[in-house]
Amino acid sequence: MAWELILWLISFCIAMALLALTIYQLMCLSDMEFDCLNPYDTSSRINTVVIPEFVIQGALCVIFLLTWHWFMFLITAPVAYYNMKLFVKGKHLIDVTEIYRLLNGEKKYRIVKLIFYFVLFGIVIFRLVETAVTSLIDEDNDVYESGIF
């Protein structure tokens, strides 16, 4: 049961990182929309965090696959597939010259990802608490059954 708790703690940290990266990308796009950043700075900042986000999302998907958490794997697999498809086609990076034309689409894309990551974060928190409480109850039952108390 301790391994299960460690898995959900790692998943919690990964979900937090994915949320932070997506919020950062949305903030960069909003700053450019309000003329706080120029297109070059915006695209370079977003492009530096796209690959780590894809790697983290893929790692989370693989972790769920290897630990046989099929429901969570099936939730994260379509996003990992879509990220891989974008990477293979070369459409994962934002082009500096096209950023104004694609601004609304990029913001909507990242808002949808943010909603997905919030749902994933909620599920991970629920499973983390459930696993922690279950392991605590099992530990208490073992202590009482051993006759120590």
Number of H helices, E strands in the chain: 4, 0
45-86 pLDDT per residue, tens: 999 999 999 999 999 999 999 999 999 999 999 999 999 999
Pick the residue with more confidence: 101 or 1? 101
Q: Determine the 3-state secondary structure of 11 from DSSP.
A: helix
Domains of the chain: total: 1
pLDDT (average), residues 134-138: 84
Domain range for residue 23? 2-145
Which residues, at least 6 apart from 86, have a Cβ–Cβ distance to it below 8 Å? Answer: 92
**Average pLDDT of the chain, as a whole number:** 92
19 and 60 in contact (C-beta within 8 Å)? no
